[in-house]
Chain A
């Protein structure tokens, strides 16, 4: 498999740095398909991968977190 194919089939997931998350709740308000709140309001990432074509929309959510606690991690598709 060459690297271009790799990129196209890569699955994207959100990750939250729990040390930085302060529970503003922007992520689970904006994107409830990918985030939930724990019992007291900190973010929980739901295990749902997206295709690379969704990167721009995902980056909007990353940028909306006031703490900069969210990142996008790349893994092979279907993982």
Chain B
């Protein structure tokens, strides 16, 4: 059996070291690294980690994600790491037909109609956070707003409002960034499972109108869900609901705090905020695990695939390749920031609402905010996504007379 590297060479698939774990440039200018990868080829081989293919243009990403029988989520190994680390976050870590049944049970909980009523509460939390910022008179957007709005809202929806919000946010962050070994990964997941499991148990005794209670009613093919799986799904919601949304939202405030023209456009025409969100997700595409393993022999862009081949989806690079310029009113616009195919982000509708309300409230409260010109950003990296470590802003810069 020939190795992935040998087959890549024979098929004329380029080799390019794309190293999410070790490439220090991710801490300085992450998008340059994604752009570099996307400019190599639609499909290339990276010798980093244990070796993996990289799908780096939209069509290749789409081909892979729309063919889950060929490109499986089992085993759920993180494809780009040196260590073989497995995740346990259903329903991402499932394949059809099991995935189909679980997805069908979960999708009503997160549909556009189910999440629309959450809007007023999200707006209320956004205003509370802005009140606190106003009172403090200074603000680090990651610490005080982008990093708090999704956590505050989501933990409440999961029945965890009473818990230690900062610790829970740290846990979601750890699950996204700090897992070089299987032991660490398992320990982080176990701690989160404990927290969300306790909430589900509490809601069984005392139901409320929230997501935790909806989980207790979940039926798959008419049967109650085995407790371990149920808790695993709530754990994925815990991680994505806080960390991914915060990271993505932080990038939006980063962009608008630096590009005056775009900030003004959204103030003058708040009705185009939803379009702006799509464009900012495309250019600062950030979230969601992105690995698949070949379930069978086959072919991809001329490369002879063998069962067991690992693949990473460079969705960020692929989406940016459409056009690296930000045009908030881009039409038509499409991106893969919420994934594609059967694992399309279940939380996309609620995440869109959170980001829209977050932007609406933020620009209403701090219309003249900006990122200081001398600010040097640092990024948390080492995972499939990169996050602004901090984002200090001037809330109302003194106007020059």
CB distance from B246 to the nearest CB of A (A): 22
A63 at the interface (CB under 8 A from B): yes
A29 at the interface (CB under 8 A from B): yes
B334 at the interface (CB under 8 A from A): yes
Count residues on chain A whose CB falls below 8 Å from chain B CBs: 21
Closest to A62 in B: B332
Question: B278: which A residues are within 8 A, CB to CB?
Answer: 26
B66 at the interface (CB under 8 A from A): yes
Inter-chain CA distance A24–B333, complex, in Å, is 13
Q: Are A67 and B333 in contact (CB under 8 A)?
A: no
Docked complex: B234-281 residues within 8 A CB-CB of A: 274, 278
Q: Are B111 and A37 in contact (CB under 8 A)?
A: yes
Mark each residue of chain B from 89 to 129: 1 if its CB lies under 8 Å from any CB of chain A, else 0: 00000000000000000011011110000000000000000
Q: Are A24 and B332 in contact (CB under 8 A)?
A: no
Mark each residue of chain B from 271 to 312: 1 if its CB lies under 8 Å from any CB of chain A, else 0: 000100010000000000000000000000000000000000
Q: Are B344 and A60 in contact (CB under 8 A)?
A: no
Q: Are A23 and B332 in contact (CB under 8 A)?
A: no
B363 at the interface (CB under 8 A from A): no
Question: B349: which A residues are within 8 A, CB to CB?
Answer: 25, 41
Q: Are A66 and B111 in contact (CB under 8 A)?
A: no
Comparing B22-30, B47-55, B176-184, B335-343, the segment that makes contact with chain A is B335-343
Q: Are A67 and B108 in contact (CB under 8 A)?
A: no
Inter-chain CA distance A66–B65, complex, in Å, is 11
Count residues on chain B whose CB falls below 8 Å from chain A CBs: 23
Mark each residue of chain B from 29 to 66: 1 if its CB lies under 8 Å from any CB of chain A, else 0: 00000000000000000000000000000000010001
Closest to B278 in A: A26
Among A22, A61, A67, the most chain B Cβ lie within 10 Å of the Cβ of A22
B399 at the interface (CB under 8 A from A): no
Q: Are A22 and B344 in contact (CB under 8 A)?
A: yes
Question: A20: which B residues are within 8 A, CB to CB?
Answer: 66
Dominant secondary structure at the A interface: loop
Q: Are A39 and B340 in contact (CB under 8 A)?
A: no
Inter-chain CA distance A26–B332, complex, in Å, is 11
Question: B112: which A residues are within 8 A, CB to CB?
Answer: 25, 37, 41
Question: B334: which A residues are within 8 A, CB to CB?
Answer: 26, 63-66
Closest to B109 in A: A40
Q: Are A60 and B113 in contact (CB under 8 A)?
A: no
Inter-chain CA distance A41–B62, complex, in Å, is 20
B331 at the interface (CB under 8 A from A): yes
Closest to A29 in B: B274
Q: A20-B66, A22-B342, A23-B344 are in contact. Are A39 and B332 (CB under 8 A)?
A: no
User: How many residue pairs, one in A and one in B, have C-beta atoms under 8 Å apart?
Assistant: 55
B216 at the interface (CB under 8 A from A): no
B348 at the interface (CB under 8 A from A): yes
CB distance from B86 to the nearest CB of A (A): 25
Question: A23: which B residues are within 8 A, CB to CB?
Answer: 107, 111, 344
Q: Are B113 and A39 in contact (CB under 8 A)?
A: yes
Q: Are B338 and A24 in contact (CB under 8 A)?
A: yes
Mark each residue of chain A from 44 to 66: 1 if its CB lies under 8 Å from any CB of chain B, else 0: 00000000000000011111111
A76 at the interface (CB under 8 A from B): no
Closest to B108 in A: A40
Among A23, A29, A59, A68, the most chain B Cβ lie within 10 Å of the Cβ of A23
Q: A22-B342, A22-B344, A24-B338 are in contact. Are A41 and B107 (CB under 8 A)?
A: yes
Q: Are B66 and A39 in contact (CB under 8 A)?
A: no
Q: Are A39 and B111 in contact (CB under 8 A)?
A: yes
Closest to A20 in B: B66
8 closest cross-chain pairs (CB), A and B: A63-B332, A22-B344, A64-B332, A41-B111, A60-B332, A40-B111, A40-B107, A66-B334
Q: Could you name 5 residue pairs across A and B whose Cβ atoms are closer than 8 Å?
A: A25-B348, A26-B278, A41-B112, A63-B332, A67-B62
Q: Which A positions have Cβ atoms within 8 angstroms of B?
A: 20, 22-26, 29, 37, 39-41, 59-68
A22-B342, A24-B348 given; name 7 further pairs at CB < 8 Å: A25-B348, A26-B334, A41-B112, A60-B331, A63-B332, A66-B336, A67-B340
